[in-house]
Amino acid sequence: MNKGLVTKSTGSWFEVKNTTGEIITCKIKGNFRIKGIKSTNPIAVGDHVNYIIESTVGDKKIGWITSVFDRKNYIVRRSINLSKQSHVIAANIDQAVLIITISYPVTTTIFIDRYLASALAYRIPVLMVFNKTDCYDETQTNKMNSLINIYSNIGYKCIRTSAKLKEGIEQLISDLKDKTNVINGHSGVGKSTLINIIQPGLDLKTAEISNMHKTGKHTTAFSEMYELSFGGYIIDTPGIKGFGMLDMETWEISHYFTEIFEISKKCKYNNCSHTHEPGCAVKNAVENGEIAESRYISYLGMLEDDEKYRKPH
């Protein structure tokens, strides 16, 4: 039995890197599922697996993945149509890197907060990268600085980057070094451009932003892991439109908004939903500016979505 690391997934085929750095192209042996999660893909980039060699074609080895080692964590997105299945984007992650743009395209606070809550639920630290700083006017720059202030105060590390000006690149390299990093963000936020700068030679495909809709075009079709010359890995992922929470009770959602969870200890009722109850410390904190209104709105939106998800379809 051979051990390896899944570095690329194209749906039915997987590239597995063995301990000597050799790449084996594999399929799944049998119909197995990962314990504890209903997912559309039982194997993801970042998984450690056992495999066997089936055949050799020229210098290319073909094999079968026979089992998957337990994951320390993973990050998912909910499959479309609100099904109870999920799609695992990546596994065994040291750090999630969220690339954010104030414009070209817009990254909403609702998207950011869902992402942060999802990562916290799966015990994955997040580095927030505010990209394309060279593109913004004064109003947009002020908005970016305001968001950085909100998230820094909560405890998230935030850095500013510009691929064009090479701003923040050394800091980004330092923060990625010796970690397995999953890179996420909307299509068009500059993930591939930043990766090409920090790891010259990868030549990941990039695309221009659509002028009509100010949105990005998908340039990454499948998740793929790349080794970094300065130590560590990055997992490039397809641009994602949104995250849904999985396997979480409604009352748990507030636990993944750290500042709401902390202040909720002062609420009059232990089971306070922070929506309508008298004596709610969270609502008071929003009114006096102790909790950012945008974060509270995101929390309410997730509560509402969770209720829709739990209704029978």
Q: Distance (Å, rounded) from C-alpha 37 to C-alpha 77?
A: 12
Name which of 150, 148, 143 is nearest 159 in CA terms. Answer: 148
The owner of tokens 């999630």 is 96
The overall average pLDDT reported for the chain is: 86
Q: Which span out of 10-19, 169-178, 238-247 was modeled with the highest average pLDDT?
A: 169-178
Question: What integer pLDDT is reported at residue 148 of this predicted model?
Answer: 98
Q: What is the pLDDT of residues 60-105, one digit of tens each?
A: 899 999 999 999 998 877 655 545 567 788 899 999 999 999 998 9
Q: What is the pLDDT of residues 46-63, one digit of tens each?
A: 999 999 999 988 888 999
- In residues, how long is the chain? 313
Question: What integer pLDDT is reported at residue 221 of this predicted model?
Answer: 54
Report which of residues 191 and 176 the model is more confident about.
176
Q: What percentage of the chain carries pLDDT values higher than 70?
A: 83
Q: What is the pLDDT of residues 232-282, one digit of tens each?
A: 999 987 655 545 455 567 888 999 999 999 999 999 999 999 999 999 999
- What would the mean pLDDT of 165-182 be, rounded to a whole number? 96
Decide: helix, strand or coil at residue 227: strand
Name which of 268, 279, 130 is nearest 190 in CA terms. Answer: 130
Q: Distance of CA 281 to CAs 98, 122, 172, 221, 276, Å? A: 30, 27, 37, 45, 11
Q: Distance of CA 219 to CAs 35, 130, 234, 238, Å? A: 32, 20, 16, 7
Q: Distance (Å, rounded) from C-alpha 181 to C-alpha 192?
A: 14
pLDDT tops 80 at residue 36 = no
Please, are residues 15 and 60 in contact by the beta-carbon 8 Å criterion? no
Rg (CA), the chain: 21
Please, are residues 75 and 126 in contact by the beta-carbon 8 Å criterion? no
pLDDT category at 15 given cuts 50, 70, 90 is: very high
Q: Which two tokens stand for residue 2?
A: 């051979």
Q: Is the peptide bond before 105 cis (omega within 30 degrees of 0)?
A: yes
Name all domains of the chain by residue range, CATH numbers in brackets. Answer: 2-68 (2.40.50.140), 74-236 (3.40.50.300), 250-310 (1.10.40.50)
Please, are residues 169 and 190 in contact by the beta-carbon 8 Å criterion? no
Residue 186 identity = H
